[in-house]
A and B are shown apart, each in its own frame.
Chain A
Amino acid sequence: MGKVNIEIDGKKLVADVGSMIIEVADDADIYIPRFCYHKKLSVAANCRMCMVDVSNLPKAVPACATPVADGMVIQTQTPKAVDAQKSVMEFLLINHPLDCPVCDQGGECELQDLSVGYGEDVSRYVEGKRVVKDKDLGPLISTDMTRCIHCTRCVRFGQEIVGIREMGATGRGEHVEIGTYIESTMDSEVSANIIDLCPVGALTAKPSRYKARAWELRESPSIAAHDCLGSNVNVHHRRGEIIRVVPRENEAINEVWLSDRDRFSYQALTDGKRLLQPKIKKNGQWESCDWQTALNFAMTEMKRIIGASNGDNFGAIIGNNSTTEESYLAQKILRGLGCNNIDFRTRRRDFSADDKGNVRSGLNFPLQDLEHMDATLLVAGDLRHEQPLATLRVRKSTGFGKAMAINPFDGEYNFRLSHEIQPEPHLLANEFACVLSAVAAKKDDAISAEIKEWLSGVEHNKVHSEMADELIAGEQTCILLGVYAQEHPQAETINWLGEQVAKLTDSKWGYMTQGCNAAGNKLAGAVPNQSEVGGRATLGKNAKQMLNEGLKGYLIHNCEPDVESLWSEQALENFNNAECVIALTSYDDGRMLDYANVMLPIAGNFETSGTFINIEGIWQSFAAAVAAPGDVRPAWKILRVLGNLFELNGFDYESSIQIRDELREKYEVSGDKKVSRKMPEVLCSSEKFEAPRESLGLYRVDPMVRRAEALQKTPKASTHPISISRVKT
């Protein structure tokens, strides 16, 4: 890309040809006021606030829409520029109501700030102001459309980033209104980003409406816990109460966006029915007690059951969103007691690869690359609802590349698919194998005889062949296996196919995981086949066995297998029949009250410190943003004390950081273990199996999300999970 020399406010700068003045100024830390410009959106140039003075031009020009040219001399503070900005400001304020005192944006409002800089203190305008009726955009976003300054950021966001035109401008001039054309709620999974985008208080967050002012809030960085990307967030809290969660910019992960799920799930902590004290069930009645009593009870029961059965009759189910430290301690305790029944994969059916040590789970390439793909093949993933922000990246790639899907879902995509196959769920692996066969046909020389043999009898058709063509032709291509692929009874076959197709077509490949810390949990050893960092362990029972076989005792950490696992009914029954169920939970409700025998209150996300490892393998540690209420303790502390009670060695951590460092050290020594996937023996077993027909659903993924009131009120909460019923042929 060519470079040009320009000068802004006397600063000599080198800029890329084609970049706009405002981008160059932003990079050089020279502030130019703006309303409609946003670095992630297209240039609309409709607010005219960014006027700058370019030498040799008779009038001030908008910096966001004027490309730089060699030798340009730009002034941002000359009377010409400032006058233009002042006039724009005056026009904007004509119709803007004077309601900053009741506006939630007050204190962090771009219009407010700029009117201090460029506005007059007394208005010359005496005529009546315009009033616009508010729109009902659903339970997440509240509107005060009179405040709208028609910057169209929200419109462009829907159109360009999400690909769903939810908002639009109707009318002209004085009568322009921003709204949803027909009265309808916003129901994309990332809709609430328009709250951040809106420079004024026209769009604000409904759950935190009127709760606090910007200046009262304290900000703590944290990591969101509801999908495997590990979006970076800032938690805004006041007097120890979380008021809202906003995205923290991280180009490599969430850019500047945040999914609604990550943004509003905090409500479970503030408004949910929290368990504030340890409780023991005595004669069917719950009694609050102190930690000592509760932990002693838990310890005695565990000792008894594990001792009586050699560790066979006790099992731990770890929640998907547990921190790496928690999982590490949990497995350390269990293995210390001689019990290997621990698992977090309550939504997995295929455990056939469990005896082969593999540490890494997830993507084998940077998430960011998703947006540069010439071809993306999505296999069995409801990407939009599982990793909403990953979809935005794939969507970007469809601007020039192709997206294809083999998906048993009656999928909702926000990008155009060039090819789509919608197989019956149980034929998923077969369809994928057809693609491999199509690739094999084109790359005959690169294929081993073994695979050829395996593929004999797999017939591919035109669509498969075209898919293969795309993958082979594209320079950067990838195969993305969705969460459903991992839930599928043939998950390992699908993984193997993914690997093979990727190898043959020189694509990247990776799979998405359920929850936010699958990689971390696995690395920490919360799996029955290996201890931390892929260490050797006697093979224990996996989640499927534990939930189906009916053990005498269970430890349930931060999850509700009776709701979210694939065997919810069996789980419920077995929990009810168990002698002792020890539940580490944040909430004092649900069926857990029936089946648990002791409940230990653990701090929720944002209340505990820890580490999440995302699919890309990035370790993201965070500190607690707020203190947990009541007698609630961070789970790592509870597990540490439990470890001490059992008199196990190596449980004298003073902070979660020590735990992490210990694990990290071990990981650095062991490194990523290379997985060698064995070729599945047969593509499809002759016995016909019933493949699952339902996904977990956007707002049902974990206990926290299920208790977030606003999210549960959205239309998506009831129409999702989508069931896989219709098959396109």
Chain B
Amino acid sequence: MNKKLKQFLNSFLLIELLKGLAVTGRHMFSRKVTIQYPEEKTPQSPRFRGLHALRSYPNGEERCIACKLCEAVCPAAAITIEAGVRESDGSRRTTKYEIDLFKCIFCGFCEESCPVDSIVETRVFDYHFEEQGAQIMTKEKLLEIGLLHEEQLAKDIESDAKYR
């Protein structure tokens, strides 16, 4: 009996509706969190794991020394490397460095394993492919991305250095 009466009052007096509206009302005056993507973007951690890049030294020399640690550590087997002796100076370099972004799970292990901070993950996360096969990031593409983002990358690595 008691239960039925309670139910009746609840619905007749629109109490639940008012409760809901109260939430709406509260949020009308609180701080907004919605951002206008793509004009606005959320802040990113220096450890953000986005699109890969291969870094170079300021003198233009690629950092990667073809140690293949990233290839070995990659849990998704997304990295394929072939290495050899570079003709010009006999140093150890990759002749092929490819990351299949469809396989990659963005775990960041490659970045962590690299002894020379060569393979890194940039803050770029919004990209798409239009052609079959474009998801294979070749050495040229990766180096180019590296050059493009070098400033940011250097800063990020710097800021994270003390925790490593």
Contacts and interface: CB of A to CB of B under 8 A. Distances in A.
Interface of A: 100-102, 106, 209-213, 215-216
Interface stretch (B42-50, B65-73, B103-111, B151-159): B65-73
A572 B22 CA distance: 102
B72 A211 contact: no
B92 A210 contact: yes
Contacts of B116: 101
Given A101-B67, A102-B67, A102-B92, A213 B115 contact: no
A210 B67 contact: no
Give the size category of B's interface with A. 10 to 19
A210 B90 CA distance: 10
A78 to B, nearest CB: 35
Given A101-B115, A101-B116, A210 B68 contact: no
Contacts of B84: 209-211
Nearest to B93: A210
A236 to B, nearest CB: 15
Interface of A is mostly: loop
B85 interface: yes
B83 interface: yes
Given A101-B115, A101-B116, A102-B92, A213 B68 contact: yes
Contacts of B67: 100-102, 106, 213
B92 A216 contact: no
Nearest to A98: B115
In the A-B complex, the 3 residue pairs with the closest CB atoms: A101-B67, A210-B92, A102-B92
B63 to A, nearest CB: 11
A101 B69 CA distance: 8
B69 A209 contact: no
19 contacts: A100-B67, A101-B67, A101-B116, A102-B65, A106-B67, A209-B85, A210-B83, A210-B84, A210-B85, A210-B92, A210-B93, A211-B83, A211-B84, A212-B83, A213-B67, A213-B68, A213-B72, A215-B72, A216-B71
B56 to A, nearest CB: 17
A288 B83 CA distance: 33
B53 to A, nearest CB: 19
Given A100-B67, A211-B84, 20 more contacts: A101-B65, A101-B67, A101-B69, A101-B115, A102-B66, A102-B67, A102-B91, A106-B67, A209-B84, A209-B85, A210-B66, A210-B83, A210-B84, A210-B85, A210-B92, A210-B93, A213-B67, A213-B72, A215-B72, A216-B68
B114 to A, nearest CB: 9
Contacts of B85: 209-210
Interface string B51-70: 00000000000000111110
A213 B73 CA distance: 13
A106 B67 CA distance: 9
Q: Max chain B CB contacts within 10 Å: which of A100, A101, A106?
A: A101
Interface in B90-106: 91-93
